[in-house]
Amino acid sequence: MAALPVLTKKDLRSYVPDGFIAEKYKCKEGFASGEIEMESTSGTAEERVSVVWNQKWWDRSELAAAKLNAVLNNIFSRPHREAVLATPACSGNLCHVGESPMRERTIGNLLFLNQTPDPTAWDNKNIRRMVEELESFQPDIIEADPAYLSILSKACLSAGYTLCQPKCIVLTYEFPSQIHYRQIHRAFPGIPVVSSYGSTETGHVFTQCEAGSFHQNTATCYVDIQPLKTKFGNPDLGRILVSTLDNPWFVLLRYDVGDIALLNTGKECSCGRADGLIVPGVEGRTRDITFDTKGRIVTLKQLDDALEPATALLNYHLAQADAQHYSMSYEADPATQLNSADILPDILHRLYSSDAIIEIARDSALVPEQSGKFRLAHTAWPLQAEEFF
């Protein structure tokens, strides 16, 4: 596998739909029969691509991935309902923006809750509607963008609304921050929260088991991880490269999904599952890495873990202007006595080095990108992933 070149979004833009279909299959026939369709991924303009979508393969991938977590496996073993809370464009070509009635946003066993591109614009009417729809729908699973569910959780806690308690919460779509987990656990006490990692292009890739490790979905993908060059930091970090299996309509070999994982150091997982790769966690997007003043990579998870003591934070965004200059905007809970601005400089200096020049400013509301996703960190200059791995 290492001898093969790495596929990128640029390759997809150049060769989809015909370039990744198995030889015996014909695009025209697949579209005519309804077996496949074109679908656009979410993300920023430079991240967005069109893919050949095979719903049957996606369903197989999802079902296989659910078997990697005991709670999800139990739910998926029988008919169940899922409520989805994310950007309205999360379902590919479906988009629920405006005032669509609940029945129009219910597709099979799925209810799409959100109708607003920017969740920071939710007013009490929107919050109350989602609370009532969840109560009416009674989902077994809430599948959510962690930032969106965190905002809904905080709003309900503040307003005194009781949220329907599902059997499980699945976090996907973007990086789950410690900030998100705090609010979600407060609103859903005792409910299992599982992180699911994948992409529109590659299906369900890793599922977090009940012991907290991330297990490769060996039924529908092969994963190898290309290590970080030692001059940039910890070589146990690497970018995730995915090859799809059992999907003749979209065959990808060593596709760079744009995320970083921490390699397993050889430890077995206490859950007992041993097939495929097992990694401690996904470290965030490659495009969201920053650097300390010595040029070593800081992943989004490393930044997020460092900020865990700042429990008043509700959101943040760190921007790196050059090798030494950083700025952070943040939102904080006005009800807390903790002044996050007092502890943030020490946290960031320990992470980026004592000679880092850091500006910190409190903001009333940090908004998502046009894609509907929140970006927590970035550099002012473009990054080329192949330089680091």
CA 386 to chain centre: 22
In percent, the amount of the chain with pLDDT more than 70 equals: 95
Cα(153)–Cα(323) distance, integer angstroms: 37
Judge whether 276 and 216 are in contact, CB under 8 Å: yes
SS3 244: strand
Q: Has residue 229 got a pLDDT over 60?
A: yes
pLDDT per residue over 286-299, tens digit each? 999 999 999 999 99
| 298 found inside a domain | yes
- 230 belongs to a structural domain: no
In a domain, 150, yes or no: yes
Residues 52 and 186 in one domain: yes
Which CATH number does the domain housing residue 96 bear? 3.40.50.980
Query: Domain boundary at 199, 219, 239, which?
Result: 219
Statement: residue 312 has pLDDT above 50:
yes
Last residue of one domain, picked from the residues 202, 219, 236: 219
CATH of the domain at 332: 3.30.300.30
C-alpha 173/C-alpha 223 separation (Å) is 19
Split into its structural domains, the chain has a count of 2
Is-contact 141 82, C-beta < 8 A? Answer: yes
3-state class (DSSP) for residue 299: coil
**Residues constituting the chain:** 389
Cα separation of 357 and 350, whole Å? 12
Report field, pTM of the whole predicted structure over 0.85? yes
Specify if 239 maps to a domain: no
Q: Do 196 and 319 share a domain, yes or no? A: no
pLDDT at 266 over 90: no
Both 55 and 193 in one domain: the answer is yes
Residue 342 lies in domain? 287-387
In a domain, 251, yes or no: no
Please, are residues 376 and 150 in contact by the beta-carbon 8 Å criterion? no
114 and 212 share one domain? yes
- Quote the pLDDT of residue 267: 80
> Does residue 276 belong to any structural domain of this protein?
no
Whether residues 15 and 154 fall in one domain: yes
Reported as a single tens digit per residue, the pLDDT across 145-201 is 999 999 999 999 999 999 999 999 999 999 999 999 999 999 999 999 999 999 999
Q: Based on the domain organization, do 27 and 134 belong to the same domain?
A: yes
Position 340 scores a pLDDT of 60
Q: Is the pLDDT of residue 43 over 90?
A: no
Q: Do residue 45 and residue 167 come from a single domain?
A: yes
For 371, the enclosing helix (H) or strand (E) is none
What is the three-state SS of 90-121?
CCCCCCCCCCCCHHHHEECCEEECCCCCCHHH
* pLDDT for the residue 93: 43
Partner residues linked to 259 by β-bridges: 285
Q: What is the pLDDT of residue 2?
A: 86
Percent of the chain with pLDDT over 90: 83
Q: Decide if 321 is inside a domain.
A: yes
Residue 1 lies in a domain: no
Question: What pLDDT was estimated at residue 364?
Answer: 82
pLDDT at residue 337 greater than cutoff 60: no
Please check the confidence at residue 338 and state whether its pLDDT lies above 70. no
End-to-end CA distance of the chain: 15
CA 162 and chain centroid, separation: 26
